[in-house]
Structures are given as structure tokens and as C-alpha cells.
Amino acid sequence: MSQPSTEGRGARRVIQGVVVSDRMDKTITVREDRLVQHPLYGKFVRRKTTYKAHDEQNTARVGDHVEIAMSRPLSKTKCWRLVRVLRTARLTASPDAGTESA
């Protein structure tokens, strides 16, 4: 798997994940799910890692599939930036959306 590189910055680590939180201003929380093989038993186990990423325009929403790249440290826990939104989440209608109170 080849990693894309940005001009003048060298190769940056790029991962894909799902946005699990967008409540902070200009910050999203992205969960990366992966399968790893147990070293002793050989069974494949699901592992997940969460990253905080910088989202300058606040474009990503919860449930979106996004691509994030490693960058310089932006805060104590944030050292990733949003590259692009791969797939947007389906919008679900709230139960109160189509009803009117009389």
C-alpha cells in the first residue's frame, strides 16, 4: 500500500476512519477499526484507535468516512488534519420531523 506524499513535506502517514464526534470547534474525533491476529491463538481480533484531527472548515459530520494525515502537533492531543471526506453519512429523519403538534 503506497502512502501519498504532499509536496515539500515528505511522506505523511494517512489513515481512513469514521467520525465519531464533531462537537468541538475545528476538531473531529476519528475511529480507525482494524483486524489484528492474536499472537498466540491466531484468531483475528478487532482493534480500534481514536485520533483527534483538525477540521478547519467544520465540514465532517458524525458517521462520515474520512481520510486524515499526520501533521505537526496542533495541541496536546491533536496532531492529525483532515485531508478529505470520502463518504458522507446518510441523514436519518428525526421522529418529530414530519409531525406537527395540534
Q: How many C-beta atoms lie closer than 10 Å to residue 9's C-beta?
A: 10
Does 93 map to a domain?
A: no
Query: Total domain count for the chain?
Result: 1
Q: How confident is the model at residue 12 (pLDDT cuts 50, 70, 90)?
A: confident
Q: How confident is the model at residue 1 (pLDDT cuts 50, 70, 90)?
A: very low
Does 94 map to a domain?
A: no
Does 12 map to a domain?
A: yes
Does 92 map to a domain?
A: no
Q: What is the CATH number of the domain that holds 27?
A: 2.40.50.140
pLDDT per position as a tens digit, 59-101: 999 999 999 999 999 999 999 999 999 999 887 655 555 555 5
Does 97 map to a domain?
A: no
d(CA 54, CA 24): 10
Q: Write out the residue range of the structural domain in which residue 15 sits.
A: 7-87
Are the CB atoms for 62 and 20 separated by under 8 Å? yes
Does 24 map to a domain?
A: yes
